[in-house]
């Protein structure tokens, strides 16, 4: 019977939405009667996935913006093109997952941020490639003209090359 109670407790944990991803201590006690007592095995946690996601968006946005600042006049146009697509919005789930994985193993947000930025750059690069005339030839992305429409055809290719170099440095 204890084995069945353990399985029921495990299923109860997995059925909770965000709480299933938080560190949890299970305390499974033998049932007082022969009836299944799942309530005693349900863990308690104060983790909120929405609050965690929202707490990471600001620092991620700041790091992304800082990563595409032009430092010399010759890179102004390419940095403008990179920022146009990179800062167009989105859920930023890839960098959040990167930071969460690092924190889960004892690392810090600061340690994970360069890799988190690189992941978002690679994702944005793939979207730009997908929108090019030789691929899907999309004119709009997230309610704005795509990069190749706004910056003609060459900057998006240079932008993707710049992203590749920048992510390899991370």
Q: How confident is the model at residue 109 (pLDDT cuts 50, 70, 90)?
A: very high
Tell whether 56 and 114 lie within a shared domain. yes
Report yes or no: 111 and 117 within 8 Å, Cβ to Cβ. no
| Least confident stretch, 84-88, 122-126, 154-158 | 154-158
Tell whether 66 and 129 lie within a shared domain. yes
Tell whether 26 and 55 lie within a shared domain. no
Q: How many domains would you assign to the chain?
A: 2
Tell whether 100 and 132 lie within a shared domain. yes
Tell whether 53 and 36 lie within a shared domain. no
Tell whether 76 and 127 lie within a shared domain. yes
pLDDT of residue 162: 66
Report yes or no: 22 and 48 within 8 Å, Cβ to Cβ. no
Tell whether 29 and 60 lie within a shared domain. no
Tell whether 58 and 142 lie within a shared domain. yes
For 27-42, how does the pLDDT look when each residue is reduced to its tens digit (9 = 90+)? 555 555 555 555 556 6
CATH code of 119's domain:
1.10.600.10
Q: Which of 115, 128, 114 is nearest to 86 (CA)?
A: 128
Q: Is the pTM of this model over 0.85?
A: no
Tell whether 120 and 161 lie within a shared domain. yes
Q: How confident is the model at residue 3 (pLDDT cuts 50, 70, 90)?
A: very low
- Greater confidence (58 vs 137) lies with 58
Tokens of 58: 């600001």
pLDDT of residue 123: 92
As a whole number of angstroms, the distance between CA 26 and CA 84 comes to 47
Tell whether 14 and 84 lie within a shared domain. no
Tokens of 12: 């109860």
- Greater confidence (34 vs 50) lies with 50
Tell whether 134 and 90 lie within a shared domain. yes
Give residue 29's domain range: 2-41
pLDDT of residue 18: 42
Residue 60 has pLDDT above 80, yes or no: yes
Tell whether 97 and 146 lie within a shared domain. yes
Report yes or no: 131 and 153 within 8 Å, Cβ to Cβ. no
pLDDT of residue 152: 75
Residue 44 has pLDDT above 70, yes or no: no
Q: Which of 95, 18, 94 is nearest to 50 (CA)?
A: 18
CB atoms within 10 A of CB 167: 18
């Amino acid at each position: 019977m204890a084995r069945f109670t353990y399985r029921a407790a495990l299923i109860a944990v997995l059925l909770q939405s965000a709480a299933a991803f938080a560190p949890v201590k299970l305390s499974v006690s033998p049932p007082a009667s022969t009836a299944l007592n799942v309530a005693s095995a349900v863990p308690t946690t104060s983790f909120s996935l929405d609050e965690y996601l929202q707490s990471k968006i600001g620092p991620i946005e700041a790091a992304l913006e800082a990563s595409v600042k032009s430092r010399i006049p010759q890179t102004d146009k390419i940095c403008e093109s990179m920022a146009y697509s990179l800062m167009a919005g989105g859920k930023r789930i890839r960098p959040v997952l990167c930071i969460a994985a690092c924190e889960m193993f004892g690392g810090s947000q600061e340690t994970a941020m360069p890799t988190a930025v690189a992941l978002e750059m690679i994702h944005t690069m793939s979207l730009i490639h997908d929108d090019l005339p030789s691929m899907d030839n999309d004119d709009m992305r997230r309610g704005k003209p795509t990069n190749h429409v706004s910056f003609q055809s060459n900057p998006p290719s240079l932008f993707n090359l710049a992203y590749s170099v920048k992510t390899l440095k991370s």
